[in-house]
Amino acid sequence: MDASGLGWWGVLIAVFGGAIRVSTPFLFVSLGECLTERSGRINLGLEGILVMGAMSGYGVAYLSGSPWLGVLVAGLAGLLLGTLHGAVCSLPRVNDIAVGIGLMLLGTGFAFYLGKPFVQPKAPTLPALHLGDWASSAQVQSALQVNVLFIVGVVLAFAMHWAFRNTRWGLVVRMVGDSSDAARAMGYSVNRVRILATAAGGFLAGVGGSFLSLYYPGSWNEGLSSGQGLMAVALVIFARWQPLNCFYAALLFGGAGALGPALQSVGITGGYYLFSAAPYVLTLAIMIATCSPRRNLAGAPGELSVTR
Amino acid sequence: MDGSITLPAPVAGGATLAMDRVRRAAEAICIPVAALLAAMMVFGVFMLLVGKNPLEVYALIYKGGFASAFAWQNTLQRAAPLILTALCVALPAQAGLIVIGAEGALVLGGLAAAVVGHALSGGSPLAVQLAMAIAAMAIGGAWISLAGVLRHYRGVNETISSLLLTYIAIALFNHFVEGPLRDPASLNKPSTPSIGEAAMVGHLPGMDVHWGLVFGVVFCVCAYFLVRYTVFGFALRIVGGNVRAARLAGLAVGRLVLLSCFLGGAAAGLAGMAEVAAVHGSANASLIAGYGYAGILVSFIARHNPIAITPVALLVGGITASGGLLQRRLGLPDATVLVLQGIAFMMILAGETLYGRLRIFQPRAH
Amino acid sequence: MAIKQPNTERRAFIQALAAAGLVSAAGPGLIRTARAADKIVVGVIYVGPKDDYGYSQAQAQAAAAIKKLPGVTVVEEERVAETVDVQKTMGSMIEQDGASLIFPTSFGYFDPHVIKMAEKYPNVRFAHCGGLWTEGKHPKNAGSYFGYIDECQYLNGVVAGHATKSKKLGFIAAKPIPQVLRNINAFTLGAQSVKPDVTTTVIFTGDWLLPVKEAEAANSLIDQGVDVITMHVDSPKVVVETAERRGIYVCGYHANQSALAPKGYLTGAEWNWTTPYTAHVKAAMEGKPMINFLRGGLKEGFVKTSAYGKAVSDGARKNADAIKSKMMAGDYVIFKGPLKDNAGKVVIAGGTVYKQTDLNLEKMDYLVSGVVGHV
């Protein structure tokens, strides 16, 4: 083991490693929300889906011994909750922001309830690719230990970016999100597309949640999420609904989250509470900078209620 | 809908209009009640699936929340902060904003109250309490107004911004309570200096419930009158209904939005002051107890109607109060109550779709 | 009425009474509950979940132990917030379940909640964990118990000192309150007794349960070259697992986490709350006065150490065991002067000796020299 601390290099490495580690749930959740919002619906219940995904993934991984099965089941749980959100919102006169808040409550409640027996046991964790083994320092090695889900997320971001532009389904989703009248005129059922998009978004959010419990921090308990679901929604707005920007923004947020502990480990200890607020302040600042009351946000789906 | 309906011969104009009002009121009560009953049934099915007898669960919820004087005191006490934090959601909702930042306004309001209370300790208790209340309301109101400002001037979605502001408020609160504003004698539980025994708000006569409940009910009634019977309230509701129409009518939309946010934040700040003055005597981490989030639930179930907030707060308070009995008697985890509240919330929201669709509640043609 | 009980529990009870005799509230039994009873309902209140592999779990283990005593019914409630909620919970246990002995296990319950309830229900005993019950200031039917777990953290430090190669230790803590600082200092002093130039880097996460922050803190400490880690947070599970994953050593806390880190677990500081719990239950059932101030360390059986892990060398075991037996005999002092804090100021003057029971230690507000971090 490396005998010397790296000082300020250590901070940089920690931020970099943290950016990869902590950003993966943000990445998945924001990609899922991106899909949902592109179809014209906003799903604030991602926080609940994230927690439910974390719990179900952990539970199934523990009971079955396979972390990948856990990831799959987490995704399915997210799919179910996303379908619920989509279905309730497709009823006329129902406010989708309110339903999102309700889903947050429901998802969290179910997760805590069903997750009680899983707080203690230790479930198998997801494997990581050791991309840093060329480095001599253990710290760099560890920072470059990239989880497979992160790779999947990056590929997914590129895939979504391509799909929105070049496939028929991408076009359908965008059309439903920009103008439901046009979609109806083309013969597509607006509600069905939105429900499917929300369900798929829920699937991705559930997978993101499973990352928290099956890799980093790798444990299930009731304090696991601290608003990551909500931040992902803000992330999508910041990313102007572009999947690739979601990826970069997720990295940014992951790094911001890792900054506080990294600074403390080199002795900068003042105001650690303020550091813990850093990701939220960053999100708020980004939203202030990028939103505008007059123009519709460039790139915003026309039907999205958050920008109307 | 079929075209031919045999209508009863119209009676004198006044009676049918009154009947319409009764119908609307009935609609506003029956649909939420039906939704809550449906939620209880779904919850019952969930209980069956986990192997518990739903009737036993219902009985315990009743027993824990509503069956005895002790249970009622428990319920009233738990409902007290919820009334005020629910107003923090309901008042901006009149203007069409969905603000969920009550928790942040509560903690900052409590901090302000504790600081002012300590600074003025030694003065006459009533004056100190008044000063604490004003400080708490000012700070809480200002905090939520931030969300309103961001929404009106920058178009930032107020739901997201108010939640982010909550996290930031909690971080600020912790920073100050454990740092610059900390009472050096409060070692193992970092708190601000005490406001002193004299300034503490006591219990209602003969009950085990503190005056915070009265603050809440009074604020609720005032809010109801404000919204229903004043020009300001009317203007707010126009903004909430259709912003463009409001602008065309010449209403100062920005000012109305900010004021509604300020009032809502003031309510939540007052809840913080009540917690400090009636329970803790100082500001510390125990103030962050989730009252703000529960208030969101109350306001939505009450459909943001101030007069309905008090009974709904009692209902939610009672359910939360029964959580302890469910844990101890049936071995259910505390999250059981969370699940019930989540199901109730979703049912209420789904029930929104029934408004205006059930013929029995619709005004008759006349 | 004689109550049959096995010998070990009686011995623990006598030991506890002896410990209490050191700093006990004297005076005749002013408790109005001076009736012996053969049935008792005991209420236990947790601030978090019972099975968190940490603080609440240690309490729950004691609750499970007293459940086995004849005539004892235990009702438990978890996740009770430190607000009026806990007052109502206590009231509900007393009025609806008939509890006559309550264990509110979180520190934040004491002031004002336990005090208020104790004044309201003078016939019920309230045994609070961690509070500082003071004669004359607090009601007689309330009491506080706590354990000197810093003795075990000292032993953790000794073993860590032997195991560390980089001479950098890490400590992940929630908040800089005296009980936490005492642990950090004891750990550092223990390690320094083996290698005097060892340093401990502290990271405060800000709250008792923040798994993502705790994992980040562990990773950044390890990136800085730390090779033994310990912690004072409510649920050490995340830190232990992160340490194991990165291949460094870890010392446990609150409860035994060795199952989570088969390679890296050195030893751990555990509570043995069964001792004070049993003491209180016996006192209640036999109509003896309320034990107002109960403290104990290794000697009184209030705390214990986990078994040594595979990685602990023989030399380390011998060293730690020797110190442990001195502590068991009451002969070992951890905090004695001259002691400087990490800013260079003298915090314990030369010649001053603070035995474990000294109340000055419960007001600790400094970090000893060798600790990297600020209060």
**Rounded Cα distance, C18 and A26, in Å:** 56
CA angle A114, A116, A121 (to 5 degrees): 115
pLDDT band at B313 (very low <50, low <70, confident <90, very high): very high
Average pLDDT over residues C303-316: 90
pLDDT band at C5 (very low <50, low <70, confident <90, very high): very low
pLDDT digits (tens, 9 = 90+) for A34-92: 999 999 888 989 989 999 999 999 999 999 988 899 999 999 999 999 999 999 998 88
Residues from chain C that touch B172, judged by Cβ atoms under 8 A, are: none
Alpha-helix residue ranges (DSSP H) falling in chain C: 7-22, 55-67, 84-97, 115-120, 150-163, 178-192, 211-223, 237-245, 274-285, 314-328
Of residues B329, B258, B280, B353, the one with CA closest to residue B81: B280
pLDDT band at A5 (very low <50, low <70, confident <90, very high): low
Cα distance from C314 to chain B (closest Cα, Å)?
38
The SS3 call for residue C12 is helix
pLDDT at B38 over 90: yes
Q: What is the pLDDT of residue A198?
A: 95
Residues from chain A that touch B352, judged by Cβ atoms under 8 A, are: 91, 93-95
Mutate to test the interface with B, among A94, A116, A228, A284 (most CBs of B within 10 A): A284
Place of tokens 């509470």: A273
Residue B38's CB is within 10 A of a number of other CB atoms, namely: 17
Which are the contacts of B218, defined by CB distance < 8 A and separation ≥ 6? none
Chain A, nearest residue to B338 by Cα: A109
CA angle C298, C301, C303 (to 5 degrees): 60
Average pLDDT over residues A28-37: 93
Q: What is the pLDDT of residue C32?
A: 41
pLDDT band at C240 (very low <50, low <70, confident <90, very high): very high
pLDDT digits (tens, 9 = 90+) for C152-177: 999 999 999 999 999 999 999 998 88
pLDDT digits (tens, 9 = 90+) for C23-38: 334 333 334 444 566 7
Of residues B298, B337, B241, B330, the one with CA closest to residue B56: B330
pLDDT at A134 over 60: yes
Q: What is the pLDDT of residue B305?
A: 92
Beta bridge partners of C76: C44
Q: Specify the range with the lowest mean pLDDT, choosing from A140-154, A159-173, B204-218, B329-343.
A: A140-154
Average pLDDT over residues C244-250: 90
**Rounded Cα distance, A78 and A198, in Å:** 10
pTM to 2 decimals?
0.84
CA angle B292, B297, B303 (to 5 degrees): 120
**Rounded Cα distance, C188 and C201, in Å:** 10
pLDDT at C18 over 70: no
**Rounded Cα distance, C190 and C155, in Å:** 6
pLDDT at C357 over 90: no
Q: Residue A170: is it exposed, middle or buried by C-beta count within 10 angstroms (0-12/13-18/19+)?
A: middle
Cα distance from C241 to chain A (closest Cα, Å)?
8
Average pLDDT over residues B196-205: 85
Closest Cβ–Cβ partner in A99, A233, A274 for B171: A274
Say what angle helices A46-64 and A8-38 make with each other, to 10 degrees.
Answer: 110
**Contact status of C363 with chain B (Cβ, < 8 Å):** yes
- Whether B325 and C78 lie within 8 Å, measured CB to CB: no
- Whether C53 and A10 lie within 8 Å, measured CB to CB: no
Half-sphere exposure of C349 (CA within 13 A, CB side): 1
**Contact status of C197 with chain A (Cβ, < 8 Å):** no
**Rounded Cα distance, B44 and B350, in Å:** 18
Average pLDDT over residues C59-84: 90
**Rounded Cα distance, A10 and B305, in Å:** 55
* Domain ranges, ordered by start, for chain B: 25-361
**Selected residue with higher pLDDT from B249 and B309:** B309
pLDDT at A292 over 80: no
Which are the contacts of A150, defined by CB distance < 8 A and separation ≥ 6? A20, A23, A24, A27
Cα distance from C108 to chain B (closest Cα, Å)?
7
Chain A, nearest residue to B333 by Cα: A113
On whether the CB atoms of residues C79 and C60 are closer than 8 A, the answer is no
**Rounded Cα distance, C51 and A222, in Å:** 11
Chain A, nearest residue to B294 by Cα: A105
Chain A, nearest residue to B89 by Cα: A98
Of residues A22, A281, A285, A238, the one with CA closest to residue B166: A281
- Whether C83 and B321 lie within 8 Å, measured CB to CB: no
**Selected residue with higher pLDDT from A4 and B62:** B62
**Rounded Cα distance, C140 and C319, in Å:** 43
Say what angle helices B125-154 and B69-94 make with each other, to 10 degrees.
Answer: 40
φ/ψ of residue A128, rounded to 5: -125, 150
**Rounded Cα distance, A156 and A173, in Å:** 17
Of residues A166, A235, A225, A173, the one with CA closest to residue A199: A173
Chain C, nearest residue to A138 by Cα: C223
Handedness of CA B104, A116, C65, B60 (dihedral sign): positive
pLDDT digits (tens, 9 = 90+) for C115-153: 989 999 999 999 999 888 888 888 889 999 999 999 999
- The CATH number of the domain covering residues in B25-361: 1.10.3470
pLDDT band at A3 (very low <50, low <70, confident <90, very high): very low
Of residues C107, C90, C112, the one with CA closest to residue C48: C107
| Token pair of B13 as six digits | 């104009």
| Token pair of C140 as six digits | 């007689």
Residue C107's CB is within 10 A of a number of other CB atoms, namely: 22
Side chain identity, residue A69: L
End-to-end C-alpha distance for chain C, whole angstroms: 53
Q: What is the pLDDT of residue A29?
A: 93
pLDDT band at B11 (very low <50, low <70, confident <90, very high): low
Residues from chain B that touch C80, judged by Cβ atoms under 8 A, are: 324
| Token pair of B4 as six digits | 């031919």
Q: What is the pLDDT of residue C28?
A: 38
DSSP H or E segment with residue C147? strand C142-147
pLDDT at C266 over 90: yes
DSSP string, B153-186: HH---HHHHHHHHHHHHHHHHHHHHHTTT--TT-
Q: Residue B255: is it exposed, middle or buried by C-beta count within 10 angstroms (0-12/13-18/19+)?
A: exposed
**Rounded Cα distance, A97 and A42, in Å:** 7
